[in-house]
Structure 1
Amino acid sequence: MTTLLKSATIIDPQSPFHNQTKDILITNGTISEISDSITVNDEYTVVDLENLHVSTGWFDTSVSLGEPGYEERETIQHGLQVAAKSGFTQIAINPNTTPIIDNKSLVEFLINKATNSPVNVYPIGALTQKSKGVEMAELFDMQQSGAIAFGDYNKPIENDNLLKIALLYAQNFDGLVMSFPKNKKIAGEGVANEGVNATILGLKGIPNLAEEIQVARDLFLLEYTGGKLHIPTISTEKSAQLIREAKEKGLQVTCSVAVHNLTLTDDLLHGFDANVKVNPPLRTRKDVDALIAGVKDGTIDIITSDHNPIDIEDKKVEFSIAKDGTVGMESAFTALHTIFDLETIVNCMSTQPKRIFGISENSINKDQVANLTLFNPKGEFEFSEENIVSTSKNSIFIGHKLKGEVYGIYANEQLVLK
Structure 2
Amino acid sequence: MKTLIKSATIIDASSEYHLQTKDILIENGTIIQIDDVINESVSNEINLPNLHVSQGWFDSSVSFGEPGYEERETLENGLLTAAKSGFTSIAVNSNTKPVSDSKSAISFLSSKAIGNAVNLFPIGAMTMKSESVDLAEMYDMHTGGAIAFGDYKVPVSNPNLLKIALLYAQNFGGLIQSFPHEKKIAGKGVVHEEANATRLGLKGIPALAESLQVARDLFILEYTGGKLHIPTISTEASVKAIKEAKAKGLDVTCSVAIHNLFFTDAVLDNFNSNFKVLPPLRTENEVTILREAVLDGTIDFVTSDHMPIDIENKKLEFDLAEYGTLGLETAFGALNKLFGAEKAVTLLINSKERFGIPSNTIQVGSKAELSLFNPGESFVFTSKHIYSSTKNSAFIGSKLQGKAYGIYNNNQLVTF
TM over 0.5: yes
Alignment RMSD (CA, Å): 0.6
Aligned-partner Cα distance in 2 for 1:30–1:196 = 56
Equivalent position of 2:22 in the other structure: 22
In structure 2, list runs of 5 or more residues that go unmatched: none
Equivalent position of 1:6 in the other structure: 6
Which amino acid is the alignment partner of residue 16 of structure 2? P
Q: Deviations over 1:36-72 (max 9, x none)?
A: 000031x331100001000000001100010000001
SS of equivalent residue, structure 1 residue 355: coil
Which amino acid is the alignment partner of residue 249 of structure 2? G
Aligned-partner Cα distance in 1 for 2:96–2:43 = 41
Q: Which residues of 2 match residues 152-231 of structure 1 at below 5 A?
A: 152-231=151-230
Q: What displacement does 1:349 show?
A: 1.1
SS of equivalent residue, structure 1 residue 347: helix
Q: Which residues of 2 match residues 391-402 of structure 1 at below 5 A?
A: 391-402=389-400
Percent of counterpart pairs with the same letter? 61
Are 2:38 and 1:38 equivalent residues in the alignment? yes
Aligned-partner Cα distance in 1 for 2:344–2:335 = 7
Q: Which residues of 2 match residues 245-284 of structure 1 at below 5 A?
A: 245-284=244-283
Q: What displacement does 1:310 show?
A: 0.1
Q: Which residues of 2 match residues 124-143 of structure 1 at below 5 A?
A: 124-143=123-142
SS of equivalent residue, structure 2 residue 181: coil
TM-score by length of 1: 0.99
Equivalent position of 2:374 in the other structure: 376
Aligned-partner Cα distance in 2 for 1:188–1:180 = 16
Are 2:277 and 1:289 equivalent residues in the alignment? no
Which amino acid is the alignment partner of residue 360 of structure 1? P
Which amino acid is the alignment partner of residue 183 of structure 1? E
4+ runs of 1 displaced by more than 3 Å?
none
Q: What displacement does 1:223 show?
A: 0.4
Q: What displacement does 1:155 show?
A: 0.5
Are 2:123 and 1:115 equivalent residues in the alignment? no
Q: Deviations over 1:369-414 (max 9, x none)?
A: 0000000000211110001000010000001100011100000000
Aligned-partner Cα distance in 2 for 1:100–1:316 = 25
SS of equivalent residue, structure 1 residue 172: coil
Which amino acid is the alignment partner of residue 218 of structure 2? L
Which amino acid is the alignment partner of residue 83 of structure 1? A
TM-score by length of 2: 0.99
Aligned-partner Cα distance in 2 for 1:153–1:343 = 30
Aligned-partner Cα distance in 2 for 1:132–1:293 = 35
- Structure 1 residues 196-205 or 340-349, which shifts more? 340-349
Q: Deviations over 1:217-251 (max 9, x none)?
A: 00000000000000000011111111111111110
Equivalent position of 1:105 in the other structure: 104
Q: What displacement does 1:295 show?
A: 0.7
Aligned-partner Cα distance in 2 for 1:2–1:77 = 26
Aligned-partner Cα distance in 1 for 2:124–2:347 = 22
Which amino acid is the alignment partner of residue 199 of structure 2? I
Aligned-partner Cα distance in 2 for 1:398–1:341 = 21
Equivalent position of 1:415 in the other structure: 413
Which amino acid is the alignment partner of residue 273 of structure 1? N
Q: What displacement does 1:111 show?
A: 0.4
Q: What displacement does 1:325 show?
A: 0.2
Which amino acid is the alignment partner of residue 233 of structure 2? I
Aligned-partner Cα distance in 2 for 1:197–1:3 = 53
Equivalent position of 1:349 in the other structure: 348
